[in-house]
């Protein structure tokens, strides 16, 4: 369009559909607002508060009958340290409000006021539930920040005070304490174990009953999961043993969040040495976990799969318990899950089962895992494909010759060879090692040439040859090794014409007569 800009006439062509006058009106309104905001800011500065002290949502404030008056930080300090309980409450409440607004809670500034010990003190005012609650909430939010923030709360002496409040007759206070303790436990193994040493577990577990409201139960479950979380070191054994029966109970709950967080707790506990895995397996929750792996809710599938996946990293016996619980019947669906992360985790789980004895490998075949595995290899998410390559590698390492034949028959070669084009050297190397293992199996059957043909037919030879130019030296040598061992010598050229027989390859996967 040859529309040249042409002085004031351009205004005739409104590109935004707003004409000059409305545009101008808007601009004026905006600038008035800006000026107003600036003025407010100045007033705040005089009060020595940086920004946004008012409720962030002004319309919310208007809707409320009683307009909230926010005291200054100095006023807060004065009131909190004073003797007037009325003022103490108001100031604590004001602090809590500052700390619970959505944007930029002034945690640092509140800590600098030095009022945390005083707030902790308020936790002990059993005669003033309102004050206890406000202080608990404020401290919860301070502890929700960085490690430094959490430390300020702990060093203010909050741990025993909160543990004490778990048994408060007021449910909202004990719930708030559960939340605060969760934040402290979530900081890391140090505070987690400090809480456990202070015997946080018995009163916490005592809160769980069939009558506990769901919202409360969610908080408890989450705090429990934080008590199970983190390694180096992992939580003390006797603490875990106390928590596990309750987790088993919570896993039966109908609330999705409760189930999800319980599963996460179990997944933390199984992410450990075999002894710890055994402790979990002994509770007999594997069948329930496998059941939850099949849930339609990703928030449940993920941690349940993680937990079971951790279990099969354990001993053959522990893995067998997972198989007995039915993990192999659920995995095909998860290998085809719409979320790539789930596919990946499922393949990882399967790779660890494939690393087991050949009886377990046989169960993989029997449970029909080869077709979904081939599917995943050929069109899954790349991270999932990498895990699937591991399944094949472990399978060929531990499987019997018959089992390996079965694997090749299921069509695994084509996608496996295609993955030689991947950018990841580690994966390429794993595939090359797998190919070498396949040749070892073929040699035992005297079917080396047939395997050569099959690989050639699937354009695998070409890819392996290309890998001799790979920048990674190990890859280059592995590729060269295979070429030299199996694809050099004249017999290959002699064989080539035979491949056209019947228009089909003698040893093609489809014909089912490929038995090396």
Partner 1 sequence: TAVASLQALFQCDHVQYTLVPVSGWQELETAFLEHKDQFKYFVLINCGANVDLLEILQPEEDTFFFVCDSHRPINVVNVYNDTQIKLLVKQDDDLDVPAYDDIFRDEEDEEEDSENESDGSEPLEKRRRFEEEVIERTMKRRQRREWEARRREILFDYEQYEYHGTSSAMVMFDLAWIMSKDLNDMLWWAIVGLTDQWVQDKITQMKYVTDIGILQRHVSRHNHRNEDEENSLSIDCMRIAFEYDLRLALYQHWSLYESLCNTSYTSARFKLWSVQGQKRLQEFLADMGLPLKQVKQKFNSMDVSLKENLQEMIEESANKFGMKDLRVQTFSIHFGFKNKFSASDIVYATTSLMENIEKEGPETTNFIKALDSLSRGNLDKLHQGLDLAKKQLRAIQQTVASCICTNLVISQGPFLYCSLMEGTPDVKLFSKPVSLCLLSKYLLKSFVCSTKNKRCKLLPLVMAAPMDVEQGTVIVVGIPPETESSDKKNFFGRAFEKAAESTNSRTLHNHFEMSIIELKTEDRSKFLDALISLLS
Alpha-carbon distance 387 to 422, whole Å?
Answer: 13
Shortest distance, position 388 Cβ to partner 1, whole Å: 20
310 vs 304: CA distance, rounded Å: 10
Tokens for 338, please give them.
Answer: 């719409």
Residue 436's Cα: distance from chain center in Å? 36
1 binds partner 1 (CB under 8 A): yes
Q: Which residue in 144, 360, 430, 434 binds partner 1 (CB under 8 A)?
A: 144
Name the segment binding partner 1 (CB under 8 A); options: 8-16, 127-135, 482-490, 502-510: 8-16
Q: Which of 141, 313, 318, 396 binds partner 1 (CB under 8 A)?
A: 141
Candidates 1-9, 235-243, 407-415, 474-482: pick the segment binding partner 1 (CB under 8 A): 1-9
Q: Does 222 bind partner 1 (CB under 8 A)?
A: yes
Query: Cβ 341 to partner 1, closest distance in Å?
Result: 7
* Of residues 336 and 409, the one with the C-beta less far from partner 1: 336
Q: How far is the CB of 6 from partner 1 (least distance, A)?
A: 5
Report how far residue 97's alpha carbon sits from residue 63's, in angstroms, rounded to the nearest whole number. Answer: 17
Rounded Cα distance between 413 and 419, Å, is 10
CB of 261 to partner 1, least distance (A): 6
Q: Which of 311, 309, 319 lies closest to 341 in space, CA to CA? A: 309
Given 13, 37, 58, 471, the residue binding partner 1 (CB under 8 A): 13
Q: Is 512 left (phi over 0), alpha (psi -120 to 50) or beta?
A: left
Among 341, 365, 422, 480, binds partner 1 (CB under 8 A): 341
Q: Is 264 in the site for partner 1 (CB under 8 A)?
A: yes
Alpha carbon distance 213, 220 (integer Å)? 11
- The yes or no reply on residue 186 touching partner 1 (CB under 8 A) is yes
Listing DSSP states for 362-405 in one string gives: HHHHHTT-HHHHHHHHHHS-HHHHHHHHHHHHHHHHHS-HHHHH
CB-CB neighbours of 216 under 10 Å: 18
Q: Which is nearer to partner 1, 163 or 228 (CB)?
A: 228
Residue number, 177 or 396, with CB nearest to partner 1: 177
CB-side exposure of 57: number of CA atoms within 13 Å? 8
* Least Cβ distance, residue 56 to partner 1 (angstroms): 8
Q: Kindly tell me which residue out of 193, 261, 271, 387 binds partner 1, with binding defined by CB under 8 A.
A: 261
Residue 177 sits in the site that holds partner 1 (CB under 8 A): no
Under DSSP, the state recorded for 54 is: S
Task: Assess 301 for contact with partner 1 (CB under 8 A).
Answer: yes
To partner 1, the closest distance from the beta carbon of 170 in angstroms equals 16
CB of 514 to partner 1, least distance (A): 40
Binding mask 88-127 for partner 1 (x = CB under 8 A): ---------x-xxxx--x----------------------
Q: Which is nearer to partner 1, 8 or 42 (CB)?
A: 8
* Residue in 426, 417, 406 with CA at minimum distance from that of residue 452: 417
Q: Which is nearer to partner 1, 301 or 377 (CB)?
A: 301
State how far Cα 492 lies from the chain centre: 50
Q: What is the CA angle 482-483-485, rounded to 5? A: 65
Q: Is 235 in the site for partner 1 (CB under 8 A)?
A: no
**Residue number with CB closer to partner 1 (4 or 423):** 4
- Those residues whose C-beta lies under 8 Å from the C-beta of residue 38, and which sit 6 or more positions away, are none
Distance of CA 51 to the CA centre of its chain: 35
Q: Which token pair is 205?
A: 């577990």
Task: Give the range of 35-43, 222-230, 437-445, 505-513 binding partner 1 by CB under 8 A.
Answer: 222-230
20 touches partner 1 (CB under 8 A): yes
Please work out the total of residues on this chain that contact partner 1, with binding judged by CB under 8 A: 56
Binds partner 1 by CB under 8 A, chosen from 165, 204, 280, 342: 342
Contact call for residue 232 and partner 1 (CB under 8 A): no
Tokens (6 digits) for 46:
């005089």
Q: Binding mask 26-55 vs partner 1 (x if CB under 8 A, - otherwise)?
A: ------------------------------
Angle between helices 298-311 and 256-270 in degrees, nearest 10: 20
Tell me if 303 contacts partner 1 by CB under 8 A: yes
- CB contact at 8 A, 317 and 277: no
Show the tokens assigned to 244.
């596990």
Least CB distance to partner 1 at residue 309 (A): 13
| Cis amide prior to 503 (ω within 30 degrees) | no
Considering the complex, state which of residue 219 and residue 427 has its C-beta at the smaller distance from partner 1.
Answer: 219
Q: Are 189 and 228 in contact (CB under 8 A)?
A: no
Tell me how far apart the alpha carbons of residues 289 and 325 are, in angstroms, rounded to a whole number: 9
Separation between Cα atoms, residue 464 and residue 145, nearest integer Å: 53
For 186-196, b where at least 16 C-beta lie within 10 A, e where not — what string?
Answer: bbeeebbbebb
What is the closest distance, in whole angstroms, from the C-beta atom of residue 258 to partner 1 in the complex?
Answer: 12
Which residue stretch of 9-17, 153-161, 271-279, 496-504 sits at the interface with partner 1 (rule: CB under 8 A)? 9-17
The answer to whether 365 contacts partner 1 (rule: CB under 8 A) is no
Q: In the complex, which residues of this chain contact partner 1 (CB under 8 A)?
A: 1-4, 6, 9-20, 22, 57, 59-60, 63, 97, 99-102, 105, 137, 140-141, 143-145, 150, 176, 179, 182-183, 186-187, 222, 225-226, 229, 260-261, 264, 298-299, 301-303, 339, 341-342
């Amino acid at each position: 369009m040859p529309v040249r800009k042409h002085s004031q006439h351009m205004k005739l062509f409104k590109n935004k559909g707003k004409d000059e006058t409305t545009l101008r009106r808007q601009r004026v309104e905006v600038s008035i607002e800006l000026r107003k905001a600036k003025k407010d800011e100045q007033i705040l500065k005089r009060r020595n508060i940086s920004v946004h002290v008012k409720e962030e949502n002004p319309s919310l404030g208007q809707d409320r009958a009683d307009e909230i008056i926010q005291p200054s930080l100095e006023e807060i300090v004065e009131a909190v340290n004073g003797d007037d309980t009325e003022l103490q409450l108001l100031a604590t409440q004001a602090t809590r409000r500052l700390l619970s607004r959505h944007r930029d809670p002034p945690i640092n500034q509140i800590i600098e006021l030095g009022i945390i010990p005083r707030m902790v003190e308020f936790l002990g005012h059993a005669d003033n539930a309102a004050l206890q609650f406000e202080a608990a909430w404020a401290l919860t939010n301070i502890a929700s920040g960085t490690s430094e923030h959490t430390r300020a709360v702990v060093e203010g002496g909050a741990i025993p005070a909160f543990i004490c409040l778990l048994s408060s007759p007021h449910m909202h206070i004990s719930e708030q304490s559960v939340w605060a303790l969760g934040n402290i436990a979530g900081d890391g193994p140090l505070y987690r174990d400090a809480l456990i040493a202070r015997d946080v577990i018995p009163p916490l577990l005592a809160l769980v009953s069939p009558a506990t409201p769901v919202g409360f139960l969610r908080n408890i479950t989450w705090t429990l999961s934080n008590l199970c979380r983190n390694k180096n070191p992992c939580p003390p054994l006797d603490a875990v043993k106390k928590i596990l029966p309750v987790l088993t109970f919570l896993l039966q709950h109908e609330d999705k969040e409760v189930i999800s967080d319980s599963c996460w707790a179990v997944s933390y506990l199984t992410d450990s040495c075999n002894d710890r895995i055994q402790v979990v397996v002994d509770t007999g929750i594997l069948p329930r976990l496998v059941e939850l792996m099949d849930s339609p809710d990703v928030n449940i599938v993920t941690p349940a799969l993680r937990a079971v996946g951790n279990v099969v990293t354990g001993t053959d016996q522990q893995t067998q318990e997972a198989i007995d619980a039915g993990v192999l019947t659920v995995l095909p669906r998860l290998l085809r899950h719409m979320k790539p992360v789930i596919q990946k985790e499922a393949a990882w789980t399967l790779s660890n089962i494939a690393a087991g004895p050949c009886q377990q490998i046989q169960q993989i075949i029997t449970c029909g895992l080869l077709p979904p595995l081939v599917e995943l290899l050929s069109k899954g998410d790349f991270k999932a494909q990498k895990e699937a390559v591991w399944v094949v590698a472990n399978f060929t390492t531990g499987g019997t010759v018959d089992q390996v034949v079965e694997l090749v028959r299921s069509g695994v070669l084509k996608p496996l060879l295609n993955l030689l084009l991947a950018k990841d050297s580690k994966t390429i190397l794993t595939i090359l090692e797998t190919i070498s293992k396949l040749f070892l199996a073929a040699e035992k059957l005297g079917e080396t040439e047939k395997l050569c043909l099959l690989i050639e037919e699937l354009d695998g030879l070409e890819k392996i040859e290309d890998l001799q130019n790979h920048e990674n030296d190990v890859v280059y040598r592995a590729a060269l090794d295979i070429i030299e061992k199996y694809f050099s010598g004249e017999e290959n050229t002699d064989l080539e014409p035979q491949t056209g027989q019947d228009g089909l390859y003698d040893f093609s996967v489809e014909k089912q007569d490929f038995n090396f």
